[in-house]
């Protein structure tokens, strides 16, 4: 499931929904592969040791050990990167760089196995050719399931191995070698079809889950995060601020006399008002660590991480200036709404919780709403 922080990243990127979901799916594929980095390391090492052990009586030991050492080094580096990247939370901004690391490591390992097909092939020795082909075929076949969770990792791994092996078999006269050379392309064609099916099914499952999660976290009227996403994100940012000793600000705003918009103009106008206010709040939640959300009927929130009281006050002033500009430029028959705003800033401690900052901001909003009602109780909408 997506984290609240990840969802905040998505809604602040400005990408269209389809692009966001596709990137998120690719990130899920990458995390799955990185989390199984130890399996990749052990499978490469075990197959490499088996190959070297089987060819030890027939080939120079120095060449075998040098190849095995480079293979171990490359795959150990891959494992180290997998441990690092697999422990990170999903971040779609890093998908291209993480994908490049995966592809680079996969290709490097494949080239080493392809080199084995050239360096360790012994002509006129059908038994050794069979053994070498068996190890290489087993290695690539074993990678089918895991590497198929990436759109191109599996063919990238197989092609540099299969082509050198097939060339060596074709060049070596003998019925056994010829038979193997004919069977291998057919075998890998079938494996590739299987690989594409694995990827398609897994990708569709991830995308479907992401779409459902997105719908569960977005308000359907305003297309900004809803109360569930707000609660998750506020808790996550509270914990992060507590660890780092940084201030956390929460700004709540309420549309003044919102009920009258629905009563006098209809619910379509009421929804338009909500979307307009959501746009103002989203405009002020500029950073990836900020979130604008609709948390109630006509109530909105802005979470501003690493923001002290002065910074929060600036956000409130910017929000009001933006509202005034929108009101002047409005072409609607209804007056652009005014807002009541409450704000609270805290440096989280172990003695408090995320709910405390919400309660304080809500109390500030209540006071602002009460003041607005006292001043403009009977003022018409416009």
Instruction: Report yes or no on 333 lying in a domain.
Output: yes
pLDDT in tens, 276-306: 999 999 988 888 789 999 998 899 999 998 9
User: Above 50 in pLDDT, residue 7?
Assistant: no
Final residue in a domain of this structure, among 217, 235, 264: 217
- Annotated active-site residue 298? The verdict is yes
Instruction: Report yes or no on 211 lying in a domain.
Output: yes
Contact 307, 357 (CB under 8 A): no
Instruction: Report yes or no on 382 lying in a domain.
Output: no
Instruction: Report yes or no on 91 lying in a domain.
Output: yes
Final residue in a domain of this structure, among 160, 186, 217: 217
Instruction: Write b or e for each residue in 321-345: b if 16 or more Cβ atoms lie within 10 A of its Cβ, otherwise e.
Output: eebeebeeeeeeebebbbbbbbbbb
Q: What is the model's pTM?
A: 0.67
Percent of the chain with pLDDT over 90: 53
Residue whose entry in the numeric block shows the structure tokens 């304080």:
360
**pLDDT score at 262:** 83
Residue 190 sits in which domain range?
A: 4-217
Same domain, 52 and 201: yes
**pLDDT score at 260:** 84
Final residue in a domain of this structure, among 183, 217, 251: 217
Same domain, 212 and 235: no
Same domain, 123 and 23: yes
Same domain, 98 and 185: yes
User: How many structural domains does the chain have?
Assistant: 2
- β-strand partners of 248: 305, 346
Element (H, E) at 248: strand 248-255
Quote the tokens at residue 375: 């001043």
Instruction: Report yes or no on 381 lying in a domain.
Output: no
Same domain, 24 and 98: yes
Instruction: Report yes or no on 57 lying in a domain.
Output: yes
The rounded mean pLDDT for the chain is 87
User: Above 70 in pLDDT, residue 10?
Assistant: no
Long-range CB contacts (< 8 A, 24+ apart) of 177-182?
177/126, 177/129, 180/129, 180/130, 180/133
pLDDT in tens, 149-175: 999 999 999 999 999 999 999 998 888
Contact 250, 344 (CB under 8 A): yes
Instruction: Report yes or no on 140 lying in a domain.
Output: yes
Same domain, 129 and 152: yes
Q: Is the dihedral of CA 43, 144, 85, 354 positive or negative?
A: negative
Same domain, 202 and 255: no
Q: Is the dihedral of CA 7, 4, 303, 330 positive or negative?
A: positive
Lowest mean pLDDT among 13-22, 214-223, 240-249: 13-22
Same domain, 177 and 265: no
Comparing CA positions, the residue from 307, 288, 281 lying closest to residue 219 is: 281
pLDDT in tens, 232-258: 999 988 888 888 889 999 999 998 888
> Please, which residues have CB within 8 angstroms of residue 74's CB and are 6 or more apart in sequence?
105, 108, 109, 112
Radius of gyration of the chain (CA): 30
List, in sequence order, the alpha helices (H) in the chain. Answer: 4-12, 17-35, 37-55, 61-86, 95-119, 126-142, 144-147, 153-171, 175-217, 227-244, 258-265, 267-284, 309-329, 354-376
Instruction: Report yes or no on 146 lying in a domain.
Output: yes
Same domain, 73 and 207: yes
| CA–CA separation, 199 and 193 (whole Å) | 10
**pLDDT score at 61:** 97
Write down the catalytic residue from 9, 219, 254, 298.
Answer: 298
Q: How many of the other CB atoms lie within 10 Å of CB of 230?
A: 27
Q: How many of the other CB atoms lie within 10 Å of CB of 130?
A: 14
**How large is the greatest C-alpha to C-alpha distance in the chain, in angstroms?**
100
User: Which domain CATH number covers 343?
Assistant: 3.30.70.270
Same domain, 205 and 309: no
Contact 24, 6 (CB under 8 A): yes
Same domain, 8 and 130: yes
**pLDDT score at 15:** 56
Same domain, 180 and 238: no
> Please, which residues have CB within 8 angstroms of residue 306's CB and are 6 or more apart in sequence?
241, 246, 247, 248, 289
Quote the tokens at residue 346: 């805290």
């Amino acid at each position: 499931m997506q984290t609240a922080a990840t969802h905040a990243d998505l809604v602040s990127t400005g990408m269209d929904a389809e692009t966001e979901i596709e990137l998120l799916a690719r990130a899920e594929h990458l995390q799955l592969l990185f989390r199984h980095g130890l399996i990749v390391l052990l499978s490469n090492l075990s197959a490499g040791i088996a190959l070297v052990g089987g060819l030890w009586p027939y080939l120079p030991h120095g060449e075998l050990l040098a190849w095995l050492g480079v293979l171990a080094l490359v795959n150990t580096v891959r494992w180290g990167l997998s441990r690092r990247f697999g422990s990170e939370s999903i971040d779609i901004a890093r998908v291209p760089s993480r994908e490049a690391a995966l592809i680079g490591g996969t290709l490097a390992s494949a080239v080493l196995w392809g080199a084995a097909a050239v360096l360790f092939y012994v002509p006129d020795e059908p038994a050794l050719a069979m053994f070498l082909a068996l190890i290489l075929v087993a290695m690539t076949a074993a990678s089918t399931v895991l590497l198929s969770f990436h759109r191109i990792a599996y063919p990238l791994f197989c092609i540099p191995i299969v082509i050198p092996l097939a060339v060596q078999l074709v060049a070596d006269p003998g019925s056994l070698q010829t038979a193997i050379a004919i069977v291998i392309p057919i075998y890998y064609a079938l494996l590739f079809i299987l690989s594409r099916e694995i990827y398609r099914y897994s990708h569709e499952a991830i995308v479907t889950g992401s779409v459902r999660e997105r719908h569960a976290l977005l308000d359907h009227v305003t297309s900004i995060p809803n109360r569930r996403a707000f609660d998750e994100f506020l808790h996550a940012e509270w914990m992060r601020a507590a660890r780092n000793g940084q201030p956390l600000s929460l700004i709540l705003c309420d549309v003044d006399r919102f009920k009258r918009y629905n009563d006098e103009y209809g619910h379509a106008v009421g929804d338009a008002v909500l979307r307009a206010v959501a746009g103002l709040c989203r405009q002020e939640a500029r950073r990836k660590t900020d979130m604008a959300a609709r948390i109630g009927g006509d109530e909105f929130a802005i979470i501003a991480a690493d923001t002290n009281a002065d910074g929060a006050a600036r956000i409130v002033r910017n929000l009001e200036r933006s509202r005034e500009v929108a009101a002047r430029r409005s072409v609607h028959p209804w007056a652009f709404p005014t807002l009541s705003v409450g704000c609270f800033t805290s440096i989280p401690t172990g003695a408090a919780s995320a709910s405390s900052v919400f309660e304080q901001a809500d109390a500030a909003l209540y006071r602002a709403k009460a003041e607005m009602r006292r001043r403009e109780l009977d003022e018409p909408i416009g």
